Structure 1
Amino acid sequence: PFAAALMERFGIRAVTATGLVLIGAGSALTVLVTQSWQILLTWGLLIGLGTGSMALVFAATIANTWFAKSRGLVIGILTAGSAAGQLVFLPFIAMLAQDPGWRQASLLIAAGALAVVPLVLKFLKNSPADVGALPYGETEPEEQPAEPSADAVEPGRSSNAAVRALQVLKRASKVRTFWALVAGFAICGATTNGLIGTHFIPSAHDHGMPETTAAGLLAVVGIFDILG
């Protein structure tokens, strides 16, 4: 919710570029890590903030901003991109981490994230209006309300992105559907990212399976993610 509020406040392009910079910085600084708390700072904080700001909220924001119809299909295609990345890059990164080493793999991730930043700044637009177009599926522009004054704030709505996100969460918490979605995503996150994504490769390695083979098997999950 906080990333969505930031995208609404500062634009999709700025938040996405910032997220990529955080991922690049966190991954690059990992090669300098000498203590466990530094891992929490680089991967836990920096990379966590970066990836979190471009997770499902990115797909939902793009779909709602650029499309007036087929939004569910658009979100499905965009989220399938994450699974496709897992399928394509995970075995390669695992092979690189094994030889020449994990530091080179981490630096490659950093370089890849930072290399995309100029492309985002140049080509990613915040809304169809930026290119003089309408959202896909919309035939007539929606009537725009009268432009409020610079100091005007909608009653009950804060101009602060973090406060607004908390306000939305408070309203959503009163709806049963919200809690059903929370339960579903909690189970999905605990089983896929929490268990399989985190522990599968180390567990397979402990049982004698090469890391690259384990990474290849984990990448197969991406195939079924795309189909799903």
Structure 2
Amino acid sequence: MGLMLKPMADDLNWSRATLSLTVTVFMVVSAVVLPFIGRLVDRYNIRTVLLTSLLLSSVSIALMSVIRTPLQAIMLYGVLFGLATAGTSVAPIGVMVSRWFPERLGMANSIAISGMGIGQLVIILLLTSQFEVLGWRGSFLALAALGLVLIVPLILLKIPLTAPGEVAGQKGSPAGSGPQWTVSASLREPKLWYLIVIYAICGFQDFFVATHVVAYARDQGVGAVLSGNLYALMGLVGLAGVLAAGLGS
């Protein structure tokens, strides 16, 4: 949304506060749904959750190209895309990484999460270079197409349903040991609340601040291409930080 904020507001004659509301709804929906995504991963399998979420994500982003009213933006981006993003976030990815790389969990998680920075860097650079041709509506369609063409086949072909040494259909950790946490027990654990605070700070920077970076740069007289590249640079710096954290874990 950060790259689209100013051109969407100008084209649709909406205030930036209206578009920012869609991001707020997106964040709230994603946060509320995430615990249920974890339950779906346990009940079904990671491939099903990821594939369904990616398809839903592509559909919602494609439909954003034809919006005409603020309510449509809130429902498509805030609600539908929020649901889809929860299904492709830390819940299923964290489960997959913990099953496959239990010995180097910190570094493995860092490498997996670094994909967000790589994606932001590459996709924003590509969209910025073609934004004048595509416009914001065409850019949403391009993002949806990338999701279908590049991501879904990888899920279908590359993600095994079980970890090495784990019997198909068997649930739990690869080693079959370790504490079994209930929701009530987890909520009484101080470390969980530390993590919630850390993720809240990270989420504020990632979504609320980053949403306005490009528009703010444009307001200060920075060109469209350079403004978009600044947004891409945030992904590069984030990539370095995530990998550094993994090395130190």
Instruction: Compute the displacement of 1:143 (Å).
Output: 6.7
Deviations 1:176-223 (A, max 9, x none): 11111111111111123211x111111111122122211111211222
Instruction: Compute the displacement of 1:23 (Å).
Output: 0.9
Instruction: Compute the displacement of 1:88 (Å).
Output: 1.2
Q: Distance in 2 between matches of 1:120 and 1:143?
A: 26
Q: TM-score, normalised by structure 2?
A: 0.73
Instruction: Compute the displacement of 1:15 (Å).
Output: 0.4
Q: Distance in 2 between matches of 1:209 and 1:81?
A: 28
Q: Distance in 1 between matches of 2:106 and 2:83?
A: 25
Q: Comparing both structures, which one devotes a greater share of its residues to helix?
A: 2
Q: Across the two proteins, how many residue pairs are aligned to each other?
A: 200
Q: Distance in 1 between matches of 2:237 and 2:133?
A: 29
Structure label with greater radius of gyration: 1
Q: Classify 1:202/1:212 alpha carbon distance in 2 versus 1 (closer, same or farther; 3 Å).
A: same
Aligned counterpart, 1:222 = 235
Aligned counterpart, 2:105 = 71
Kept in 1: contact 2:64–2:73 (CA 8 A): yes
Aligned-pair identity in percent equals 28
Q: Which runs of 5+ in 2 are unaligned?
A: 1-34, 242-249
Kept in 1: contact 2:100–2:164 (CA 8 A): no
Kept in 1: contact 2:41–2:49 (CA 8 A): yes
Q: Distance in 2 between matches of 1:24 and 1:221?
A: 24
Aligned counterpart, 1:118 = 153
Q: Which contiguous aligned blocks of 4+ residues in structure 1 show a shift greater than 4 angstroms?
A: 129-133, 141-144
Find 2:202's aligned residue among 183, 188, 199.
188
Q: TM-score, normalised by structure 1?
A: 0.79
Deviations 1:132-164 (A, max 9, x none): 79xxxx9xx8579xxxxxxxxxxxx9xxxxxx9
Q: Which runs of 5+ in 1 are unaligned?
A: 145-156, 158-163
Instruction: Compute the displacement of 1:105 (Å).
Output: 1.0
Over aligned residues, Cα RMSD in angstroms?
2.6
